[in-house]
Structure 1
Amino acid sequence: MSTTTTLPAWQLPDRDLTTRLLTTQRQQNVAYAAQLETIRELESRGALPEGYTSTSAYLATILHVTLREARSRLAQATGTLPLTWKALSAGEITAQHAAVIAEFLAAAPRWLTPEDYTVAEDTLVTLAAQANPSIVRRAATRLKIYWDSDPADAPGSPDLDHGLDPDSVPGSDSGSRPEEAARPRREFRWQWTQGGRFRFSGNVDHETGTLIEQLLVPLAAPDPAITPGTPDPRTPAERHGDAIAAIVDLAARTPDLPAKAGERAVATVTVDLETLRGTAKTLVTEDESVLTAADLRRILCDAKVYPAVLGTEGQVLDLGRSTRTATNAQRRALAIRDRGCTFPGCDRSPKWTTPHHIVHWAHGGPTDLDNLASCCERHHRLLHHSGWKIVIREGAVHWIPPSILDPERKPLRNTAHNPPPTPLRTATMSTPPPPRQGS
């Protein structure tokens, strides 16, 4: 028996902690599938002890779950979900994934053909293997809208009401003076700390605050689990900080950004070519800020910093080659090809992404479509500072996980942006979906 399953967690090396997390989550998924199989057999036999009027009531009692949860498990166990069942039994998706898919397909339109039903299930199961249940639910909602259903009835539509009454929030603008409607009072204070951190505070009017909140809520959502059982480790404050960074990153790339001295805001870093290619600890910008070589290589993907690359004799070899950055036409082509961030399970749209050079330009990588991939700010940083790699196969971007997550390092393709499957409905079609009982 492996030491990762016999030793207590505190005795395991760091790498084996991750291995145990992945193994136990897969075991949990398989065990849940086995429980559903037992529930289905119990229901089919009608083998309830005396005193219980329904299988759901019996399950709620003996499993110590709510009646709602018991009904959900019964629906999953008795529904026609062969692909979901297969993935769950293999440990590839979680109980939450199965619940989302079962809930959605139970409400599928009656005019769907059996083929439509199977394609829809396959679409969601494929996404579930790489994304968290909330991403799968959003994909299901998009599919339901595509089926001409009422989106308000989509299962699990999120209610983003935080329960905050604007009139009860200190400093709110509910009692603003009339003149403030024409010139809202907004304040922003900032300073650099001795440790090189940018600290800020302030407040804005209600309208601007609402707009900021609408940007922050989706951007600060937890990242999809890289694998089942590995939730986003960031705190809410850290997620909101990353969301602010993504908003600033987007604003910095807009063509309408004001110019300074005829040029968009940039910084210049003086660095020799070998240092840029190597693993130097730190580099200094023109304003004496400090960057690591790894950070510089990541930032250079979208030319927020211009490198003044020097040869051995100090001559300027490159001062921000224009060919390093993707053209507007290439960005539009990437938006069409990638549909957004290419990290498995990420559903950020194209406007929140930047082109990443798969082979870095400093290593001779061209700024061509077959050497570019769309990444959101969060996953762009992950790519440059982790063991993830990118390859393009048959015109599609695939991410290769580090060996600690997958020893076989199988390439993964993001399916979160895939369009809904086209129904086979015709004007006269009235074929019902597959029966909901048995499998």
Structure 2
Amino acid sequence: MVEELAQADAAVAACLDASAWSLAEHELVAALDATHRLTQRLAALELALVREVDGRGMARAHGASSTTVWLRERLRLTVPTARRLVDLAAALDNGHNGGVRQALADGNITAEQARVITDTVTTVHDTAGTAAADKAVGVLVEWAGQFDPTLLRRLSTRILDHVAPDVAEAAAKAALDADARRADRDRHLTVSEQTDGRLRLAGTLDAETAGLLRAAIDPLSGPTDPDDSRTPGQRRHDALADVCRLALRTGDLPANGGEPAQIVVTTGYDALSQQLGAGTLDTGLSLTPQTVRRLACDAAILPAVLGGNGQPLDVGRQRRLITGPLRRALVLRDRGCAFPGCDRPPRWCDAHHIRHWADGGDTTLTNAVLLCGHHHRHVHKGEWTVRLGSDNRPMFVPPAWLDPDQIPRRNHYHRRN
């Protein structure tokens, strides 16, 4: 298979080197159709490979918490995209979706259409049995030749009228239940850091959460006075910030990473007092000097002495548990789970002794590393070795079966420079 794919890659490269401008109109359309068909067939192959990776449990063996996370790191995908790959690969592996898998492999439907069809066929199979599901595949694949995924999903809600009219009414309720389960499955919120330190929010809220959000921010989203020049989007942004402030002030939020819910800002004392220097959140985002000063008005200021390379040098007295000043120093250094490829933030992490406490390891910054729950358990299996590099930042040596050369690896998700 690898050799065949290499030949296909070479063929595609040759097409890329050809000049599209020289094609006649009918040749241009034919080339576009062929490219689109090939894209779908490759998608079918990719899904088959993803299913095999997932079935073998390769992700956990390689240190990832799931196949989704492994795909994100391996293929540089977003988590939602990787999750959709895993889910669709699993759905196509079901016997009643064999016709859908074949239609995608033949290039007759797209991956998005396949996702709509598998969702619908699964509902039909559970409601009306295998025979009706097989009929539904045929009807929906035929419709896919005429309708895009959005229209196809809308039409699929009445598929039982065509393949099993005797149970259509009862199945309508099942379809509603399936929609509710799908909404529950697809709910997500993505927080993406932009290059200038701002965050972009994107996601899909279920109906209940959407109602909660609107109930919380709508009263705060109106103009504050006749001269309020903020746009509606800016007012909603400020309302969300107000809701977060109100939640933090209650003191009822659960602890994260051994610390109370809080905003942690790092800045120099001279810069703070002279209103000159910017600050850095524990998530790596930067704040203006004015924002740092405003936050400092209602904050506890905790000193930490840093070296020239930003390494914490003096963070308080030694103790058995990695908490308080020592944990804050660890957050300053690691900025999140230090395991290679992990993007978990500090508040989701445990402080791990590199040399275990039970083995005589000290509770010091040079014997500690931040690890999320999954990678904390993974490292405790003993196959990976953790040590600090010459710059006092964590390095992870993989087991020989994963990398015979055992080249040390680092996490690059939390780098700030």
TM over 0.5: no
**TM-score, reference length from structure 1:** 0.33
Q: Which has the higher helix share?
A: 2
**TM-score, reference length from structure 2:** 0.34
